[in-house]
Amino acid sequence: MVRYLIYASLALALATLIYLTAFKKSYSSDHETIASGKELFSKYCSSCHGLEEDGFGPPLGGITNLLSKQTLVSFIKNPSKIMESGDARAVSQRARYKQVMPSFEWMDHSEISDILAYINEETNEHHLVAMLVSDTAAHKLSGRLVRPVKNSGIKIELEDVVQIPRLPGTSPDLGIVTLRPHPSGNGVLFVSDQNGIIYRISENKAEVFLDVRKHIKDFQSGPGIATGLGSFDFHPDFLHNGLLYVTHAETFKGQIPDYRISDSIKAEVQWVISEWKMDNINDKVFSGPHRELLRLHAPTFAHGCQDIGFIPNIDKQNPDYGLLYIGYGDGGSNNIKRPELGHHLRSFLGTILRIDPQGNDSRNGKYGVPDDNPFVDDTDPSTVKEIYAFGFRNPHRLAWDAANGNRMIVTDIGESNIEEINIVDKGGDYGWPNREGNFGITTTRDMKTVYILGKSDIDRYKRPFVQYDHEEGYAIGGGYVYEGKLDALKNKYIFGDIVNGRLFYVNVDPLLTDSAVYELTIMENGNQTTLQEMSRTKRLHQRIGYDRFNGELYVITKSDGKVRRVSKVY
């Protein structure tokens, strides 16, 4: 019996060795292939996956020793198909990460092979072990965590305005993200593409207004879904001073930042807020000088500077006139298990910053710090006095409710369970990474797990005004309070889910008495549809745009480059 067990053990070990050797032989190990795979992994995978760290998706180290190359290629090409087949690992990972990876059907087989070869090389060199299915069952809470979205009964008709061309050789995960109306209110629109271009849209035609790439030597779009040209806005006095502001990412090549995260972090990207001055505001193509205002050293490619903006339509005598608000995420610091880098006043990570672009009393002398910023009188010299509010994971969009004292509305994209809408108070702490929605989270252990708070903890941080869980969507995209001619949408904050494209609203009465989320039904040519059907994709990268001068509401989708207008409501 003992001899039998010894033989059986040896046979199992030999079989395992043969199995792993076969796996290893499936992947090339030559230098060019590994270098190509590393570059492709950085460009297309690293925004969601690490090799050892948990991210939007599971760590990928060790996976080439666990699953065959054919299995991995099939999953990468069509994740939904594998999920629908009932594959135990895929279903378990879906339960943990609450979303399905987008299809990479468009990617060449050779590119996928290079990526897998790189993962395999790193796996073997660093002895990485794949996450097992049993490791993913640690959720204390699962399923529906908050009340479901309600059907509003309101139908909106969408019509095409223009399609922005996709730049050759760019990632399908990068595209149009921000829409602004011309400050004159003449109906002209501007839409920015993360790949570095701001387009001018007039009479349903899009033309290049500003190509940032021609002016910024180290401009960087990719890897991931949130680099490149993040956002832009016009100065409220643009018609007289010709100023507009842009936030963009740059490849780090030793540039000295105004704020550094940590000397121990070797960042590959920096975010820059810059000012651009038009020689002639009537020109259809930008010409003029630009200057750098603020440079921030990011810990990772994730959760950077996604939005900037001025409070619209306020009088010049208002103390807030001309002050620029800047939303900056946690930089992915919590995904690399470095929560100490943020959620305090010595760090810009996870904050709303507020600056005066025309001032000069900042640390670098290139802008001003408003006298009424909440921490401007803090005696600690390391305090970031530009901070207006903090404790955000990814403050994706900024907006203001003009009918109710210009109260600030900020959407915050969640990790794996809750999406938030916050009413932002000056100096407020909104809890991330200790809170996701009205739930607790322990970042250092498992960011995919949330737990119910005790009564003594529930009000420790500012609570969100609105939340929905990942039974409804995966990433909240901010919007605007509608003030146009469509009566059924008035006094509603219109927003949507970036991934699945569902469109929602929440009522914004003076006392904020209703925190329920309501869904809008999408129509096209009189027929009920969805943005997924209209764009022929499951992963939309949807955003909301608004022309406050003409009361026109727009939906833009990165996946197909479409700008669509809400033409009627019924």
Mean pLDDT of 198-213: 97
Check the CA dihedral 46-52-53-56 and report its sign: positive
**pLDDT bracket for residue 139 (50, 70, 90):** very low
Can you tell me the distance from the alpha carbon of 145 to that of 381, in angstroms, rounded to the nearest whole number? 42
Q: Give the global pTM.
A: 0.86
Phi, psi of 95 (to 5 degrees): -65, -35
The answer to whether residues 393 and 410 touch, using CB atoms and an 8 Å cutoff, is no
Q: What is the pLDDT of residue 478?
A: 86
For residue 140, which of 397, 384, 452, 407 has the smallest C-alpha distance? 452
Worst-scoring range by mean pLDDT, 90-94, 138-142, 143-147, 362-366? 138-142
Q: What is the pLDDT of residue 24?
A: 54
Going by DSSP bridges, is the β-strand pair 476-481/466-469 parallel, antiparallel, or unpaired? Answer: unpaired
Mean pLDDT of 8-18: 49
- For the chain, which residues make up each domain, given as ranges? 2-136, 150-250+260-272+290-569
Neighbours of 138 (CB within 10 A): 11
Can you tell me the distance from the alpha carbon of 131 to that of 440, in angstroms, rounded to the nearest whole number? 24
For residue 276, which of 296, 259, 264, 291 has the smallest C-alpha distance? 291
Q: What CATH superfamily is the domain 2-136?
A: Cytochrome c-like domain (1.10.760.10)
Q: What is the pLDDT of residue 448?
A: 86
What per-residue string of b and e applies to 58-75 under the rule 16 or more CB within 10 Å gives b? bbbbbbbbbbebeebbbb
- Residue given tokens 């569902």 in the structure block: 502
Tell me the CATH number of domain 150-250+260-272+290-569, given options 3.30.470.20, 3.10.20.30, 2.60.40.3470, 2.120.10.30.
Answer: 2.120.10.30
- Residue given tokens 């207006």 in the structure block: 388
Please provide the average confidence, as pLDDT, over all residues in the chain. Answer: 90
State CA 239 to chain mean position distance: 31
Mean pLDDT of 375-394: 97
Q: Residues 6 or more apart from 92 whose CB is under 8 A from it?
A: 133, 136, 137
The answer to whether residues 181 and 214 touch, using CB atoms and an 8 Å cutoff, is no
Beta bridge partners of 507: 492
The answer to whether residues 168 and 564 touch, using CB atoms and an 8 Å cutoff, is no
Worst-scoring range by mean pLDDT, 58-62, 130-134, 256-260? 130-134
Worst-scoring range by mean pLDDT, 73-87, 125-139, 353-367? 125-139
Q: Residues 6 or more apart from 285 whose CB is under 8 A from it?
A: 200, 207, 208, 209, 210
DSSP string, 108-139: -HHHHHHHHHHHHHHHHHHT--PPPGGGG---
- Residue given tokens 């990632």 in the structure block: 171
Can you tell me the distance from the alpha carbon of 14 to that of 553, in angstroms, rounded to the nearest whole number? 65
Phi, psi of 407 (to 5 degrees): -65, 145
The answer to whether residues 64 and 51 touch, using CB atoms and an 8 Å cutoff, is no
For residue 401, which of 479, 331, 305, 320 has the smallest C-alpha distance? 479
- Upstream peptide bond of 433 is cis (omega within 30 degrees of 0): yes
**Amino acid occupying residue 244:** L
Interval 454-469: pLDDT, tens: 988 999 999 999 999 9
Q: What is the pLDDT of residue 558?
A: 93
Interval 55-77: pLDDT, tens: 667 888 889 988 899 989 889 98
Q: What is the pLDDT of residue 442?
A: 85
> What number of CA atoms fall less than 13 Å from residue 385's CA on the CB side?
19
For residue 249, which of 199, 303, 200, 207 has the smallest C-alpha distance? 303
Can you tell me the distance from the alpha carbon of 479 to that of 265, in angstroms, rounded to the nearest whole number? 34
Mean pLDDT of 371-379: 97
The answer to whether residues 518 and 478 touch, using CB atoms and an 8 Å cutoff, is no
Three-state SS at 69: helix
Neighbours of 43 (CB within 10 A): 19
The larger pLDDT score, comparing residue 337 to residue 88, is at: 337
What share of the chain has pLDDT > 70, as a percent? 92
**pLDDT bracket for residue 98 (50, 70, 90):** low
